Structure 1
């Protein structure tokens, strides 16, 4: 008998969104970067698209247009680039 995966990846998506959009001190961001990056890289395809939709909702109007214009790989690269920038900023 085949069983469906009912894991919705809510905790992983929440951790990634908190890293991207919630205010935390720089030391907290640096500490959280590697675990969050690993979570992001291990997301399944469906969870990744769900994450993209949730990120899209949080963006200002002009940023939404730019984000929407990217393809799957472009969105992945963009999110990783933003995560790295958040970690490195002073």
Structure 2
């Protein structure tokens, strides 16, 4: 029970030290305010985002098509395998 309290106390002390370190760091090196975008910059950003979304959608469609093709291929193989197995079983008695 004492070990649990000691561990909790150590964790609390370390957490306080981390928070204090972050506070001191932010006071020494304040973060710069985010730059405001002009209307032209905002339009260019929106166009770039739209293009990126279009490319991502096209890439996802290609992946979906490959997955669908991969799923269709084993089904086609499964349909032909029993036929091949039947052919092999009929050939085996003829050889003996």
> Would the TM-score normalized by the shorter structure come out above 0.5?
no
| More relative contact order, 1 or 2 (CA 8 Å, 6+ apart) | 1
Asked which structure has the greater CA Rg, the reply is 2
- TM-score (structure 2 length as normaliser): 0.20
Task: Identify, as 1 or 2, the structure richer in helix.
Answer: 2
